[in-house]
Structure 1
Amino acid sequence: MTSDHPSAGAGVIEPPGLKRRDDWIAVAEDAIPFERIEAFFAGRAYEPHRHDTYAIGQTLSGVQSFRYRGAERTSLPGATMVLHPDELHDGQAGSEHGFRYRMIYIEPAAIQSVLGGRPLPFIKGGVTSDPRLFAAVHALLPATDARIETLEFEDGLFELAHALEGAAGGPSRATAAIDYRAAERARLYLHDLPHGTVTLESLEAISGRDRWSLSRDFRRLFGTSPYRYLVQRRLEAAKVGLRRGVPPAQAALESGFADQAHMSRHFKKAFGVTPGRWLRMAAMPLGREQA
């Protein structure tokens, strides 16, 4: 590793006013609907947390370490990380030089648009050297100032979904019938951030599937529970508001949380950092400091 920060030739916009050893996150501004980042961390990066998306990425330099499914994992340049939805993990530098990486967070629903109801592929251990998967992920992770066109992403998503299945050992066989259409109706309803209390009973009425079968199908198809899916959509809405400079308390209420503390608690559980730290690393406007 020759530099703690990406070079200008890498096309990454470094946050202004940061020292070379500061942790940072650069967020891509794309037409695609999923967040992708490049980041550098010198030490501890994230506390234990979980996403309801796939977290798929590649280490560019240094040693990236994380605890995942009960064991310590290591990612080096040349490998691909695939963290399954709803799996607890943390993150830290595995050497004194820190690590730099790129990551994209892809909703299981996007993978399902290709797989059409087959169970989500699972990559054992979270790190793989599969060459087809490496190429598919690499194509979706250019520098953060390089825009990905919509059709380019859709082509890449098709390749990624099939590469994931291949790296996981091929299409899985379901042990019980899955009602993909019913689960998708429930997902679309939750995705639109409905107001008021949401229950499995209400999802049963919307989907036409009994609540417990729906809950099981939802997990197998989208990698998380209906409730955690809804919370994550609220968090994504809150992040948009915070990045635009909306005060945290207002962003929390507008995205469906009871208050700012409620949002902050879920934010750290989902992303491993507080809203305030995330905004500082991303060099985004902050309405006011938060815990």
Structure 2
Amino acid sequence: MDGDIGQLQSDWISRSEPIGGVERIEAFFHGNAYSMHRHDTYAIGLTLAGVQCFHYQRGLRTSLPGQTMVLHPDEAHDGQAGTDDGFRYQMIYVQPAAIQQVLGGQALPFIEGGVTNDPRLFEATKSALRQMRGDAEPLERDDALAGLALALNHASGARSTRKSADFAAAQRAREYLHASCTRAVTLDELAAVSGQDRWNLSRDFRTFYGTSPYHYLVMRRLEAARAMMLRGVCLADTAAAAGFADQSHMTRHFRHAYGIPPARWLAMISDRRTR
């Protein structure tokens, strides 16, 4: 997102239709944005530009780019700009039941003061805002929700009450992802083949393989894509064969994984091979 808000004049809100108990918005405001109100969801978000202020838990809080806002369900708050330039932010509204599905009966995480510098939660919130789109694959959205809930629990300082992790179940899920990486896979499918509850499986997969099921799936697709690209398959055909929605979908994930777009990577690899 562009961090320069000096040229923005009118207040605006852009929102997505709720999916699975999750709603996303992006907005820009000058002056007073919201009067005191409360809702029954978590409000978790990032200030993209400017200074965002809000009254919360008997104090005036300030959120800056690089921090994460976490407003607990049913806690009263308002919102206003901290400077004349206004502020721009993204927010995700998550039903407590969705968080509870991941945490499995633990107390709901609470972030004192409503603003945190926790880096894990910041990255999980960025991922959730990016991945919980209407066109995202179901496993991608489930991964984002699990990552957000676990990071939120960690940032709150809560102790896990889980039983020991199940390696055999995670291994069965991993093998299934390898065999099915060119198509959309759901967490329910992985739960069925692994013999484990979907959210326990999501947590255990991270424990044993260091990443989420969806990211693991995407990386297998990218491995296949790179091999096809090196064989001379065009990018559009590569994207389709590797299981991506289209070339732009593949490019977005390729850049996120390797830091450069696939066309540039291929040109650099080809140039190196001809020397």
TM-score, length-normalised on structure 2?
A: 0.54
Contact 2:39 2:74 in 1 (8 A): yes
Aligned to 1:118, the other structure's residue is in SS state coil
Contact 2:42 2:73 in 1 (8 A): yes
What does 1:30-179 correspond to in 2, within 5 Å? 31-142=19-130, 147-171=135-159
Count matched residues.
159
- 1:44 deviates by 0.5
- Matched residues in 2 for 1:33 and 1:107: separation? 5
- Matched residues in 2 for 1:85 and 1:40: separation? 23
Change (3 A) 1:3 1:27: same
Contact 1:63 1:75 in 2 (8 A): yes
Change (3 A) 1:81 1:26: same
- Structure 1 counterpart of 2:15, from 7, 10, 27: 27
> What is the CA RMSD across the aligned residues, in angstroms?
2.2
- Matched residues in 1 for 2:116 and 2:13: separation? 24
- Give ranges in structure 2 of 5+ residues lacking alignment: 162-275
Contact 2:121 2:155 in 1 (8 A): yes
- 1:172 deviates by 7.4
Partner of 1:2: 4
- Matched residues in 1 for 2:132 and 2:32: separation? 23
Comparing 133-142 and 143-152, the one that deviates more: 143-152
Deviations 1:74-102 (A, max 9, x none): 00000000000000000000001000000
- The percent identity for this pair of structures is 58
Deviations 1:162-182 (A, max 9, x none): 111110112378xxxxxxxxx
Change (3 A) 1:123 1:115: same
Aligned to 1:166, the other structure's residue is in SS state helix
TM-score, length-normalised on structure 1?
A: 0.51
Aligned to 2:25, the other structure's residue is in SS state strand
- 1:62 deviates by 0.1
Change (3 A) 1:109 1:64: same
Aligned to 2:22, the other structure's residue is in SS state coil
Contact 2:5 2:50 in 1 (8 A): no
- Matched residues in 1 for 2:132 and 2:9: separation? 20
- Give ranges in structure 1 of 5+ residues lacking alignment: 6-19, 174-291
Deviations 1:174-233 (A, max 9, x none): xxxxxxxxxxxxxxxxxxxxxxxxxxxxxxxxxxxxxxxxxxxxxxxxxxxxxxxxxxxx
Deviations 1:7-29 (A, max 9, x none): xxxxxxxxxxxxx4221100125
Aligned to 2:43, the other structure's residue is in SS state strand
Contact 2:24 2:90 in 1 (8 A): yes
Q: Which amino acid aligns with 2:4?
A: T
Deviations 1:122-166 (A, max 9, x none): 000000010110110000113998843321110111111111111
Comparing 111-120 and 99-108, the one that deviates more: 111-120
